[in-house]
Amino acid sequence: MKKVAFLITCVAILLIGCQQQAKNYDISAQLLAEYHIFDTTQYAQCHASSIIETNEGLLLSFFGGPYERHPNVSIYTSVFENNNWSKPQMVADGKTDTIRYPTWNPVLFRNNDTLITLYYKAGPSPNDWWGLFMNSDNEGITWTKPQELPKGILGPIRNKPVRLPSGVILSPSSTEPNHELWKSHVERSTDNGLSWQKINIPSPDSVKVIQPTLLLYPNNRIQALLRSNQNVIMESWSEDEGLTWSEVQATTIRHPNSGIDATSLFSGAKLLVNNPMKSGKSWEAGRNQLDLYFSADGKEWKSILQLENETEGEFSYPCIIQSRDGLIHISYTYNRTKIKHLVLRLSKHALSSSPSPHQSN
């Protein structure tokens, strides 16, 4: 009888475990609102948005101009106020004393309670661009003059930096020295962004990986999810606050070599935005669908909402955050003519009892 009771207990424990795992994935997202940010009088195309929460609401940045790589492409910002996005304001361009370069991929990061940093790139192409930054102490209304990052430091290439509990800042970055060789790295700062250490994420030369997004876990574990040319998202892990990283490995998440972004919820669960298709002959292939994924542990991912699903079009380069009220905000490129902003509510997610005033991931 004791053996039978023991077996029954073991089966019960397994069933409870399975039910708890199923409950973790019994989650969906409700669309509450959608907005479009565009201004054809200032630019014909726009791309690569970044969104953060401010003390007043939301702030968004992107690049816009005649077309990507055109020297008149500049950095714009827009503020969410009165339940609408303000007219985009140009805040930076690539002018030098002798020439004007296109600008690229702005990334917003809350440095502290009173300071927001806007990182971006300038240069003729991703092969030879350089990193710059500006600061705002009034929630993005005005900005300091642009400053170049130290030589060899590019800043976040497309996705937001994260601040670890220790105060260390990790900036997800990458290089594209030529069409065939793409490599990812993180830039690590222990002095609040005054200086940076570049740390490579190991990968074979045959595997192209760029534009990582970073997720935080207990015990100093960090996961990097990476855009790749392998038709799946790649991943790498760090166990020591980003000082070393494992060699990249394939996940099971289908992916067409397009921009991704992810965030950690107050509960510790994760959300990811990705184009769930394979790549094709053209660069925009596979960007006509866009999905939201959920994971309880960063290992098993499940698509919980289809954000876009068209026979053609480009819905790409997402940015995702959770605001202090628990809502999810996603911005992304909409056919290169607009930036689309979605507001979602998750049906099941455990909001922490006291989220930090400004979550950096």
Average of per-residue pLDDT across 126-149: 97
Sequence ranges of the domains in the chain: 45-78+88-148
- The better pLDDT of the pair 56, 136 is held by 136
Q: Residue 92: which residues within 8 A CB-CB, separation 6 or more? A: 74, 75, 103, 106, 118, 120, 132, 134, 143, 146
Average of per-residue pLDDT across 139-157: 97
Per-residue pLDDT at 16? 35
What element of type H or E holds 299?
none
pLDDT band at 18 (very low <50, low <70, confident <90, very high): very low
212-229 pLDDT, tens digit each:
999 999 999 999 999 999
Average of per-residue pLDDT across 149-174: 97
Per-residue pLDDT at 181? 95
71-96 pLDDT, tens digit each:
999 999 999 988 999 999 999 999 99
pLDDT band at 38 (very low <50, low <70, confident <90, very high): very high
Give the end-to-end CA distance of the chain in Å, rounded to a whole number: 52
Q: What percent of the chain has pLDDT over 90?
A: 83
For 240-271, give the secondary structure using H, E and C.
CCCCCCCCCEEEEEECCCCCCEEEECCCCCEE
Please give the mean pLDDT across all residues of the chain. 90
pLDDT band at 247 (very low <50, low <70, confident <90, very high): very high
Residue 352 φ then ψ, to 5°: -65, 155
Per-residue pLDDT at 348? 65
Per-residue pLDDT at 27? 86
Whole-model pTM over 0.75: yes
Among 34, 149, 147, 11, residue whose Cα is nearest residue 83: 34
Per-residue pLDDT at 25? 54
Rounded to an integer, what distance in angstroms lies between the CA atom of residue 262 and that of residue 294? 10
